[in-house]
Amino acid sequence: MNPRDPFRWTIEAGQDLAAKGLLRMRRQVVPLPRGRCRLVTEQGESPVLWNFASNDYLGLAEDPRLNAAAEEATAECGTGARASALVTGRTIWHARLEQRLAEFKQTPAALLFPTGFAANVGTICGLVGPGDVVLCDRWNHASLVDGCRLSGAKLRVYPHGDVATVERELDKALDARRRLIVTDSLFSMDGDVAPLRELAHLAEQHDAMLLVDEAHATGVFGDRGTGLLEACGVESPHVIAVGTLSKALGSQGGFICGPKSVIDWLGNSARTQVYSTALTPGACGAALAALDIIDREPQRRTWLAERSAEIKRILTAAGWNVPSAVAGPIIPIIVGSNDHVTALAEALLHASCMVAAIRPPTVPRDTARLRISLNFAGGEGGITTLLDALKFANRPPRSTP
């Protein structure tokens, strides 16, 4: 170790993570058809695994129709967008996709961002600043938390789903310039749903804005597949929705949907949009094809709803700790200790199932968990293999927190 290396502290920081069982490896993966993959390690490639650790719920990332659409857009406009949207980066594919997203979500307008993360940070910072108050669910996604912090608004973190605290904080914030409530719709580590109707109602009563992040719900919930706002019947001028093209839509990028004035304002002011290169035309093409499939093939989301309810029932009956609020294709099994969850994930790998072991700081201490994400492309074959493997796995005691 060079004592003058200014980065020498990173060596200790890494050793420290390893000692706590928290060091994560950046894996290399070979995606395979039917929701499967291989892991590439120093020892070579793993056997074929069912991938229960992707966000490709509808199996669209491997759909040849998305490939074809991406190729068409790429052939027409090239691989890169060349500039930010406000300069020369916004092609006909971007314009079409924005219009299509607005129609899909039944809002007046939509705006693309480079990623869902950028959409959240840029939107929150565009909506509130010093002199405002932002209310953030304790379990919100990191991108929402970072957006809240970066905005400079007064940040109030409320206990998960706690509508009473939101109401109290809104009452106290009536003198602030603006009030913004920020929430995931489907929570990504717990698989449960925010009290969207109650939050929208509170926003209406308190002249507040409500930002709902539908990253894991878009394409999955609702009769038309638009998300949990649709499924919960929330229609309010106080709500704007964020989404990603990178999960169920099988592409890449983020977007927001809302009133035209909001979209125009954010298109002028959201720094992650204005100062970042527009999406690749190929990503827009693929997302357009995904939206067509979501319209025409509702059986994909119906399958997810039915199978997730069934799996939750089977695992709970078998004594696994699956939170009762789980409502969709993200099914966590709370295990408790970091070592135990790592051992379980390892055992599942040997049984050909790739399941994420989620540990702190992503989730609270002592709530390390397996996180099963369903994939339509993996179908029944994957599920049977997983449930069989869990029958023989070493279950934690029921009292685990």
d(CA 95, CA 353): 40
When binding is defined by CB under 6 A, the residue of 115, 183, 280, 375 that contacts ligand PLP is 115
Among 92-100, 111-119, 150-158, 321-329, the segment contacting ligand PLP (CB under 6 A):
111-119
When binding is defined by CB under 6 A, the residue of 74, 123, 143, 272 that contacts ligand PLP is 143
Which amino acid makes up residue 291? Answer: L
* Shorter beta-carbon distance to ligand PLP: residue 250 or 396: 250
Q: What is the sign, positive or negative, of the torsion defined by CA atoms of 195, 199, 200, 205?
A: positive
Among 98-106, 116-124, 126-134, 278-286, the segment contacting ligand PLP (CB under 6 A):
116-124
* Shorter beta-carbon distance to ligand PLP: residue 252 or 367: 252
* Shorter beta-carbon distance to ligand PLP: residue 107 or 120: 120
Residue 371 is a binding residue for ligand PLP (CB under 6 A): no
Among positions 173-202, residues that touch ligand PLP (CB under 6 A) are 184, 188
Among 91-99, 104-112, 209-217, 284-292, the segment contacting ligand PLP (CB under 6 A):
209-217
d(CA 65, CA 84): 27
User: Which residue, among 195, 154, 189, 159, has the nearest Cα to 175 in the 3D structure?
Assistant: 154
- The count of other CB atoms within 10 Å of the CB of residue 115 is 18
* Shorter beta-carbon distance to ligand PLP: residue 137 or 169: 137
* Shorter beta-carbon distance to ligand PLP: residue 74 or 246: 246
Residue 213 is a binding residue for ligand PLP (CB under 6 A): yes
> With b meaning 16 or more CB within 10 Å and e meaning fewer, what string describes 346-361?
ebbbebbbbbbbbbee
- Tell how strand 44-45 and strand 28-32 pair up: unpaired
Among 163-171, 213-221, 331-339, 350-358, the segment contacting ligand PLP (CB under 6 A):
213-221
Helix, strand, or coil (residue 321): coil
* Shorter beta-carbon distance to ligand PLP: residue 39 or 215: 215
Cβ-based neighbours of 148, under 8 Å, separated by 6 or more: 124, 134, 136, 155, 182
Residue 229 is a binding residue for ligand PLP (CB under 6 A): no
* Closest approach of ligand PLP to the CB of residue 245, in Å: 7
How many CA within 13 A on the CB side of residue 263?
A: 19
d(CA 253, CA 75): 20
User: Which residue, among 203, 210, 251, has the nearest Cα to 101 in the 3D structure?
Assistant: 251
What is the distance in angstroms between the CA of the first residue and the CA of the last residue of the chain? Answer: 42
* Shorter beta-carbon distance to ligand PLP: residue 50 or 117: 117
Residue 215 is a binding residue for ligand PLP (CB under 6 A): yes
- The count of other CB atoms within 10 Å of the CB of residue 131 is 12
What are the structure tokens assigned to 176, written together? 């602030």
Residue 273 is a binding residue for ligand PLP (CB under 6 A): no
Residue 280 is a binding residue for ligand PLP (CB under 6 A): no
* Closest approach of ligand PLP to the CB of residue 188, in Å: 4
**Which spans in 79-141 are helix H?**
92-105, 116-127
373 pairs with which residues across the strands?
Answer: 330
* Shorter beta-carbon distance to ligand PLP: residue 118 or 209: 118
Residue 117 is a binding residue for ligand PLP (CB under 6 A): yes
* Closest approach of ligand PLP to the CB of residue 226, in Å: 16
32 pairs with which residues across the strands?
Answer: 36
When binding is defined by CB under 6 A, the residue of 38, 90, 105, 141 that contacts ligand PLP is 141
Residue number with the smallest Cβ distance to ligand PLP: 116
When binding is defined by CB under 6 A, the residue of 91, 183, 218, 244 that contacts ligand PLP is 244
Interior angle at CA 221, CA 216 and CA 108, nearest 5: 85
- Give the footprint of ligand PLP on this chain (CB under 6 A): 115-117, 120, 141, 143, 184, 188, 213, 215-216, 244, 246, 254
